[in-house]
Amino acid sequence: MTEFERGTDGPKVIVVGVDGSESSLRAAAYAAGLARRQRALLAMVYVQPVMVAGAALGAPVAGTTDEVAESLIREIRAAAERVRHIYDVRWEFHTFRGDPYNGLVEAADQLTADAVVVGASEQAGHRLVGSVAVRLVKAGRWPVTVVP
């Protein structure tokens, strides 16, 4: 009979979706605390939207979403630098392209996530169609934490 080891089986990779919204930044802060306590890798993921309509009209969509990604990474690095003497969190930043749900699924699969953290949707229309968080929970492939 094997003996159970308490506290040794926590997540090793935590994926958190970030897009610059207040709820995604709260989710990142929550996930960072979880990663620190569990000594897990924090994988911050920005999913660059593919806007077919904008591209068809000649809008520089890829450049715009690249700028958002660069802005997010600067903000995350600055925040990590401010607390580096207090908290020691291993983290990475990844970008994927596509819609947020499929991008986060792809990220969680590729990074072999043990847990996924997302912010609650701030859009009223998601009550009818379903938010990314609800879709991730329904997928049932990882524990999902939704941060308000």
Q: Which sign does the torsion angle of CA 102, 139, 31, 90 carry?
A: negative
In the structure, what pLDDT confidence band is assigned to residue 128 with cuts at 50, 70 and 90?
Answer: very low
| Higher per-residue confidence, 43 vs 9 | 43
Name the 3-class secondary structure at 6: coil
Residue range 11-70, pLDDT digits in tens: 899 999 998 888 988 999 999 999 999 999 999 999 988 765 444 454 445 556 678 778
pLDDT in tens, 131-147: 888 899 998 889 999 99
- Distance in angstroms (rounded) separating the CA atoms of residues 84 and 38: 17
Give me the half-sphere count of Cα atoms (radius 13 Å) on the Cβ side of residue 60. 5
Residue 117's pLDDT band, with cuts at 50, 70 and 90, is very high
